[in-house]
Structure 1
Amino acid sequence: MENIGAIIARYRKKAQMSQIDLAARLQADGIEVHSKSVSAWETGRNEIPARVFLHVCRILQIPDCLEEYFGANPSNPLALLNDEGKKKVLSYIDLLIHPMSYVKEQKIALYTAATPERDKTKKLRLYDARVSAGIGDFLDSDYYTTIEVPENDARGADFAVTISGDSMEPVFQDHDMVYVHRQETLEDGEIGIFSLNNMAYIKKFKDTRSGTFLVSLNPSYLPIPIDPNRDSFRIFGKVCRTM
């Protein structure tokens, strides 16, 4: 099974496009993304959002992303054929379409019919750093992808990050994306995104007379104490929703 980053890199090189070129094409589609984010996808530092990946598949002409990832797509009969076989099938399809003998009636109407009004959406920055594994100054970098999410889901959110690891299970799973409201303080017991000694974390904030701690929801992990005199500590914001 080839990882998604390797698939993107292979097709990008096949199309003779640089990472800057691919980022520019995505920007032309209305997706705000830097070439550094393309590099982060290809090296596996960050996961590409599904919506953005679909745009990448179209730009790089990846015909079957399921086949590329899993090695086979049982739902696609073309997956059983080699490249020469696929060319013959496509040639036959072309033959059936152009005389219009086998094309469904009102084909154009089907594709141009008005679609229901889309739900309102909101644009958020999805930072490349994966919390619990990422670099603690990620909010000051331009390593991010701008994603479009349902406004109702992201109400109150200012940015999004992806979780790494199992320290916050069962509530937050590895690879979950969370929406975050940017704020510099948290109340005792609230879950937030933090930087501690240049590492990014998602934890429960515990502030008591005995000290300040970052607490995992998974009991296998011990609380992390914060020493205000020795540690470099910063609160990025409060987690307001997970996706």
Structure 2
Amino acid sequence: MVDRLEQAELDAIWNFDDPVASADRFAAAAAEPDRPELVRAELETQRARALGLLRRFDEADALLDLLIPATDTLAVRVLLERGRLRNSAGRTAEATALFEEALSAARRQGETFLAVDAAHMLAISDPERSEHWTAEGLSDLASSHDQRTLRWAVALHNNRGWRLFEEGTPVSALAEFEAAEEAAERYGTPEQRFAAAWTVARCLRELGRIQEARRIQQRLAAEQPEDEAVAAELAALTDAAHTIEP
């Protein structure tokens, strides 16, 4: 019997676009009678996360309270989910402190996946130090050989790219977006590969590289003809072609 929660099961249960259904599935999984207590508790941390996405912060906190005292991996998960709740509620200083504690605890436990999760959240909650936290996460990934863990590189580079883009430095942003696309091609899901290509094309448009951007978006349109973001970009590129290219 597996005595800890496997990431593959988490991936199968989670649907971040439907936190209501996700919360119900986590509750049902945690209630299965043949599960070890630790696995039940870890599943409950994810139910708390789903409740947080629904902004049911008090309910989520109360659920995490039931898991205290927690040790080892469970303690890391509780810290992470407490931090996510605080971050979603706009209490970023509290969130950052919790994520820093989670990062240290995950590293002590040798939990690289959770350590990178914490670093990725720190880059969000502590934007002034986002470059530092992204580098910390990538440093942890450098010692990993697990394909699922290495998938974190997609999010780390993508998030850093958007911050640079919003700061008005699209050349630097493009380097991050291209790194995210490379990671998505190697380790990511089809959805991540599609999104990464779209993001690269969006940045190319920002840089005035219209023909390159159009080629990418046309390829994506052929893959998913109903995608609204791709259609919007193709429309913007058509307009841009009249003003940027002769």
TM-score (normalised: structure 2): 0.26
More helix by share: 2
TM-score (normalised: structure 1): 0.27
Bigger relative contact order, structure 1 or 2 (CA pairs below 8 A, ≥6 apart): 1
More strand by share: 1
